[in-house]
Amino acid sequence: MTDKPRSYTGLIVTLSIVINALVALLFFLPEYDGDLQFDVYVLPLLNAILNSFTFIFLTASLFFIKQKNIRMHRRFIYAAFTTTALFLLSYVTYHYLTESTSYGGSGVMKGIYLFILLTHVLLAIVIVPLALTTLARGLTMQVEKHRKIARWTMPLWLYVSLTGVIVYLMISPYYAN
């Protein structure tokens, strides 16, 4: 009798649905009209910083796995999940407390912004179950399955974290202060 690795499928499906539904719900809620005791516009900058750290941690984890240093690879993946989770908390908080900011540019730059934003959003939706599945396969030492899905997860997650920073840099001049 062989030991079957623990299945995280139910947890992955549940978290993927809950996280993506929560983010989608934010765009249908009315703007928070309570008194804020802090400048909410610091949160998009925090989000960009967290996305930057996620990108750096993912790059470091990729470097270490190429060196076959599994211990350091794991540490940087855990760091990337931590900064991503903190990003999610900050993102949800910001979008709950204020209305979305529209891009104020025009012409070619607006087209570029919209393309980057659209691909960022669509791939952010996809990356939730991909990253969680990749993590679960790594944790359960399903090495071949982990490698197979990580070949898709890593570049997509790197793209999502990098374009999160680019979106911030492009839209930051239009935040109301």
Span 95-112, pLDDT tens digits: 888 888 889 899 999 999
Whole-angstrom Cα distance, residue 46 to residue 33?
22
Residues 162/48, Cβ–Cβ less than 8 Å: no
Span 82-141, pLDDT tens digits: 999 999 999 999 988 888 888 989 999 999 999 999 999 999 999 999 999 999 999 999
pTM value? 0.90
Domains of the chain and any CATH numbers:
40-174 (1.20.120.80)
Amino acid at 67: Q
User: The tokens 């012409």 sit on which residue?
Assistant: 107
